[in-house]
Amino acid sequence: STNHPVWLVPDMQHRYSAKALLGKTDGASVEEICVLLRPHLGKLIPKLLRACNDPNKQTRDQMNSLWLALTGGRSESRALVTQNLLPTIDILIQDAGSKLWRARVGACGALADVIVGRSWQELGGGGIELDDEGIATKATASIRLLRLWRITMRW
């Protein structure tokens, strides 16, 4: 929506409004969209957080307003991230190693927001669990932090 002038035409904006997306002609609202998206937020959180930390200011601003609309604000969004913390961290660490620089920047910014203030147990706890070949069998806090360290040393 930030790159193409067709999205500035009011007809196109209304085509993708809350009413149009829900297929309703009467008072559909953003709250209804939030309720419908709740079961899918676990998969959306890493992508939204990465986009909220995008280097492009327009993208970052639009995604921040979307994030606030979907999560409800500071304490609710922190609770939502906490519910999906480990998969979110794993996906963001993977994105931090992307070949695309914008993905790397967004993922690193999102990781900084998500990891700060978390305890060892919240990050997965435990020690390093290896199989007979020396490969990690379970993603624990130590494995996550080693992956994060590897990413930071690589770039």
CB 140 within 8 Å of CB 129? yes
Choice between 7 and 108, residue whose per-residue pLDDT is larger:
108
Query: What are the pLDDT digits (tens) for 49-73?
Result: 999 999 999 888 888 888 887 887 7
Sign of the torsion formed by the C-alpha atoms of 12, 13, 19 and 22? positive
Highest mean predicted confidence (pLDDT) among 56-60, 130-134, 142-146: 56-60
**Nearest one of 128, 84, 134 to 110, comparing CA atoms:** 84
Choice between 104 and 34, residue whose per-residue pLDDT is larger:
104
| Confidence (pLDDT) at 85 | 92
For residues 135 and 124, give the distance between their C-alpha atoms in angstroms, rounded to a whole number.
17
Confidence of residue 22 (pLDDT cuts 50, 70, 90): low
Q: pTM to 2 decimals?
A: 0.73
CB 105 within 8 Å of CB 55? yes
- In this predicted structure, the answer to whether residue 92 has a pLDDT above a threshold of 80 is yes
